[in-house]
Structure 1
């Protein structure tokens, strides 16, 4: 995949690392000369020390053959301008960082995939790690829904139950789905069926339409402090 990454800051640099290590052909556009030099020395990619908000710069980056472009600068105005220019080059996948939530609609109106305020996402993740330590990893979907991983512990109401039994006994509501099970001794995750029995120490990937509230984590044996 041919990827153009705009900006080599706190967000752009890890993205460059991931994209290059994954074997993609990467072009980085960075206006700061020192940052551009650092990226050129560190990573196997083409680096343009230039202003990405000009059409000539994107032409130099061969945007016409790019599969994706990702503006990651700290300025929403810069990112939206890059996205508008990218549209002119018919780049199939355009994804941008958006720092100010008030600007989200502007990006959406021009048909851009967005990642809202990474700092806010990190803050939310850190708070979740304190408030719900039982949850190994999670991803927010929309306003309320979440996908998260959690381990089944001793005393969990769901332990020893099949998914069908858990549903009939109202242990699992219709808003909650177990979508994968990682089990010791198994080479790959199990795909849950109605007759799949949940065992102690299973690492479950769970979808909840109403989020991972304490009442839900109780089901898996994690009786956490409600006051956090």
Structure 2
């Protein structure tokens, strides 16, 4: 793909790194001269030390043939303006970071895919790692739902039961779904069925419509403080 990345800061830099590693043709636009020079020295891509909110800059970046534009600056106003210009070039995929939640509606109105404040997401992730150490990894979906990974302990009420048995006993509710099972000795994740038995040491990927609360993690043998 031909990808234009706006900003070579804390978000843009690792994005450029990932995109170039996967063999994409990348053009980065960075207004700050020092950051632009650092990106040019670090990555095998074209880096423009310019203002991305001007049509001429996007023309220089080859916007007319770009497959995607991702705006990662720390200013929502800059991101909005850049995305609006990208719309004029009819770039198929336009994405942007949004720092102020109040601005989300504006980005949606102009038809831009968004990622909410990444600093807030990182803060939530770090808090979860402390407050819910049983959770290996997680992703929030909407206001309450989460997809998370959790290991089954020997003391887990669900250990040794099939998913059908766990559902009949009320361990797995209608709000929950075991999506995948990683088991030691198996090269590929197991797609769970009703007759699949959950074993000690299994790493489960679980969807919960009410989140990964302690009442949920108890089912997998992680008895944490319910007051958190």
Q: TM-score, normalised by structure 1?
A: 0.99
> 1:89: which partner in 2?
89
> 2:139: which partner in 1?
139
> 1:165: which partner in 2?
165
Alignment of 1:122-133 (within 5 A): 122-133=122-133
CA distance in 2, matches of 1:95, 1:140: 19
CA distance in 1, matches of 2:22, 2:137: 22
> 2:118: which partner in 1?
118
Give the count of matched residue pairs: 228
Alignment of 1:1-228 (within 5 A): 1-228=1-228
SS of residue in 1 equivalent to 2:195: coil
CA offset digits 1:59-104 (Å, max 9, x no partner): 1111111111110001000000001001111111111000111101
SS of residue in 1 equivalent to 2:3: strand
Indicate conservation of the 8 Å contact 2:215/2:226, yes or no: no
Can you give the 5+ residue segments of structure 1 that lack an aligned partner in the other structure? none
CA distance in 2, matches of 1:90, 1:162: 51
Structure 1 residue 227: Cα displacement: 2.8
CA distance in 2, matches of 1:217, 1:95: 35
CA distance in 2, matches of 1:144, 1:48: 41
CA distance in 1, matches of 2:123, 2:31: 28
Structure 1 residue 225: Cα displacement: 1.2
Structure 1 residue 121: Cα displacement: 0.6
Can you give the 5+ residue segments of structure 2 that lack an aligned partner in the other structure? none
CA distance in 2, matches of 1:88, 1:59: 11
SS of residue in 2 equivalent to 1:193: coil
CA distance in 2, matches of 1:83, 1:138: 29
CA distance in 2, matches of 1:95, 1:170: 42
Structure 1 residue 26: Cα displacement: 0.6
CA offset digits 1:114-170 (Å, max 9, x no partner): 111111111100110011000000001111110000000011011011111111111
